[in-house]
Structure formats: C-alpha cells, structure tokens
A and B are shown apart, each in its own frame.
Chain A
Amino acid sequence: TGNPPYPTDDPALGTTIMAVVYDGGVVMGADSRTSAGSYIANRAADKITLVHDSIFVCRSGSAADTQALTDYLKLYLGMHSLDLEEAPSVQTAAHLINQLLYSNKNHLMAGMIVAGWDKRNGPSVFNIPLGGGVIPELYSIGGSGSSYIYGYVDANFKKNMTKEEAQTFVKNAVSLAIARDGSSGGLIRTVTISADGVERELVLGDKLPKIGFGQ
C-alpha cells in the first residue's frame, strides 16, 4: 500500500563520467553516486569498469543495464583475444559494445565511454551515447552531470597534456559537475591507462579540488 519502506526506483547512475587523451595515455574519471530515486544506494560506487587489461568503460544510465553490458563485453573481449592471440584494440571494444547496445536500444538505458590503450593505435576514447553510435574523441564527457561542464572542458582541454595535467583536468571537471548536479557526488575515481599499465586514484569527498565559486 502506498510507499513501501524500501527504494523501488531502478538504481541509476546519475553520474558524471569523462575520459581524456593525453600524451601517451588516457585518464578516465567518474563520480561515485548510485541513486535509487532520492535514496543514495551506493555513495562510493566504482563506475569505471575493467573489460580488458588496458581497456575500461565509464558507465552512466541504468546500473543494471550497464553492468550487464560490461559483463558481456568482458566475456566477448576475453574470447576474442584468444582468437587474435593478442590484446584487442579499444576500437574493437567500442564497436562490440555498440552492437549490443544498438540491437537492444529499446530495452536499455546506457551511455558509456570506452577508453584505453592498445599497441597499434595508442590511447583512444570512444563515446557511446544512449541510442548507440561510436564517436571517437580526444576528450569525452557523459552522464547527467556532464551538462554543467561542457563549457569548462571545451575551454580548458589541451592536446598532448602531460599525465599530471590530464589528471588535474579530470578531477577539476568532475568536481565542478558534482557541485551542480544532484545525481552526482561522493568521491572522484580516476583510472590512468598507458603503455606502462593502469593506475587507479581516489579523491575523497572532503578533499575535492577547491576550484571555482570564488575559492
């Protein structure tokens, strides 16, 4: 009757996600809020999911849908790498997940950013929006929080940044989005991928970069 005492809304990744190419690799960033309506189901979620050694996916939209998609992608990429006898390219991962998404577009709500490093092409970022489609970009933002930072990223992105510059850029951008978007919050997770491997970083909620707002 009426309102049961447990959350009934489908858990969604309100989210701010992004990925940026720098000189030699990519930096991927995301907030950590999973909401079910106004209830925060997970305040420390990991929205940057591994699908292969040097390929990760930022997830936004329905938590269930995106987790199912990345689970499939991880399986398919694993099998594909056996056929190839080498790691698959980021482009392959992006097209594979796009096939899944596009074929099931009427039943899914998932916006993803596929990014990583591969031997042949170096660092790559691909945006896969809600309805499908594969868009290669040097920097890409997604999720509900991204609306508030288009201006910031467009104005501050530079080609061939250093790793540190790129990581600061990502943390700043996500921080600004969290400040304005109710569906984004918690901590900032970053994943840096290059020829040297994968580096994960965490910026706790009380240590977010003090940027903007006259600070």
Chain B
Amino acid sequence: TGYDLFATTFSPDGRVFQVEYATKAVENSGTAIGLRVKDGVVLGVEKLILSKMLVEGSNRRIHTIDKHAGLVFAGLSADARQLVNRSRDEASNYRTTYGSDVPAQVLANRVASFTHAHTLYWSLRPFGASVLMGVYDADGPQLYCVEPSGSCYNYFGCAVGKGKQAAKVEIEKLDLANMTARQAVVEVAKIIYSVHDEVKDKAFELELSWVCDESNRRHQLVPKDLLQEAEKQAKEALQEDMDDE
C-alpha cells in the first residue's frame, strides 16, 4: 500500500492500483454482453432495477453513437456518459473531416486513447466504466471492448460486469461465425437470464440492441416483438435448466 493513492504511481510489481480499482467498479455492475456474428453485432445488458419508482425504459445502458455504431457499458453510469459523449463527438468529427462513416477500429482507438489519457495524470481519475462498442463499417460488423486501463481489443464475443466469467463460458460454447443477428439476440437474452443472480439481485430489465443487415446496418434497440420473443425463450431455457436439476 501507499502505491494506490495516485494513478501516477506504479507499485513495485508493476501495477497501477487506481486503474485496477476502477475495474472493480465495473465488476460490481450488471452484466453487459456483445456478440459479433455473421451479419451484425448484438449488444445486451442486465439492467438491475434499484427501485420500483424507476420508469421502465429509463436509465438506458445502450446508446447510439452514430448511424452505424452503438455501445453498451458496465460500471459507473455517470463516467460512462462521458465516454458516450466523447464517442459521439469523435464519430461526428470523423464524418465532418473525412466525409464517411467512422471505421470501427478508428472509433475504438480514439475512445481507448481518451480513456487511457485519464490514467496518466495525478489530477484526474480513471473512468469506472468498460464499454462494448458494436460498429458496422465498410469492413463488416465489429465488436470492440474498451476498459478503464485504455486497453482496446477486437472480439467475436465479450462480456463485462458482475456475471462476466459465467457469461464468457456460455459465449465460448456458441458458433458465432455461423449465427445470424436474429439468432444472436435470443442467445444474448438466454445468457443474461442465466447469469443473473436471483438471490443477490432482485429484478432486472433486459436491454437489447443490434446493428445488422436486418436493421439496414443502423444501430437500434431490438424491435419489441423480437425482444419479447427473446425474453420468452430465455425464461423457457432457464425453466428447463431448473427442471433438469
């Protein structure tokens, strides 16, 4: 200890504790999942409901960054709001300057640079949020994960938040390369329902979005009927698992 006071201090074993603590904030949040499939990217999140007085559909965790890009976050929502706004600015500036959609890797790298910059100074604290970005650019659909450290990786499937370990196990069982976005929506719903902890956390709301061929490569919340169908199948799958036990 003593090495964890500032983001500008390394510990003797080469760790930056402030960044690790920021990651803890992410791990205390509801699980967020992203799947990149054949024809698009699907994002989903377990929105834990802290009070019955909250209006349904409020406190959005999934945000649209540009026509062809969206993100879901896990962690401190106020911190994430900064990342959302910055992503939108970057995407918009790119379009103004270069005249076309921002490519996934450029957007992800810009957000990662921004996040990383906040781990370099004594006077700033790191962001307590991880962001999963789904972007459908000229090279096809791509999924990137940006963490509080500023690391940025390109994934086929990724999960952040409370149930990320269990979710990753489930994701690895899927054949993502041959799945459609429509099928992936159901899979994401199933995984979120299965990693949700009934005992520790009471109710949750499922938020799902996609950017795929079926949505004309536009990022949008999944249509209501598909959302309901996905939730129905997820509940049934959960029921089967319980019956098996």
List residues of A whose CB falls within 8 A of some B CB: 80, 83-85, 88-89, 91-92, 94-96, 98-99, 120, 134
Contact = CB atoms under 8 A, between A and B. Distances in A.
B96 A99 contact: yes
A78 to B, nearest CB: 14
Contact of A95 (B99, B103, B106): B99
B216 interface: no
Contacts of B103: 84
Interface residues of B, number: 10
Nearest 4 pairs between A and B by C-beta?
A: A95-B99, A92-B98, A83-B106, A91-B99
Nearest to B138: A120
Contacts of A88: 98
Interface in B64-114: 96-100, 103, 105-106, 109
Contacts of A91: 99-100
Contacts of A120: 138
Nearest to A120: B138
A132 to B, nearest CB: 13
14 contacts: A80-B98, A83-B106, A84-B105, A85-B105, A88-B98, A91-B99, A91-B100, A92-B99, A94-B99, A95-B97, A95-B99, A96-B98, A96-B99, A120-B138
Nearest to A77: B98
A157 B119 CA distance: 59
A120 B100 CA distance: 12
A128 to B, nearest CB: 12
Interface of B: 96-100, 103, 105-106, 109, 138
Contact of B109 (A80, A83, A89): A83
A99 B109 contact: no
Nearest to A95: B99
B106 A92 contact: no
A91 B109 CA distance: 22
Nearest to B97: A99
A88 B99 CA distance: 11
A75 to B, nearest CB: 14
Contacts of A95: 97-100
A91 B106 CA distance: 17
Contacts of B100: 89, 91-92, 95
Given A84-B106, A96-B97, 4 more contacts: A83-B106, A84-B103, A95-B98, A99-B97
A80 B100 CA distance: 13
A99 B109 CA distance: 23
Contacts of B97: 95-96, 99
A84 B98 CA distance: 12
A84 to B, nearest CB: 6
Contacts of B106: 83-84
Contacts of B99: 91-92, 94-96, 98, 134
Contacts of A85: 105
A92 B101 CA distance: 10
B66 to A, nearest CB: 16
Contacts of A94: 99
Contacts of B109: 83
Contacts of A96: 97-99
A95 B94 CA distance: 10
A51 to B, nearest CB: 14
Contacts of A98: 99
A58 to B, nearest CB: 19
A73 to B, nearest CB: 12
Contacts of B96: 99
Contacts of A83: 105-106, 109
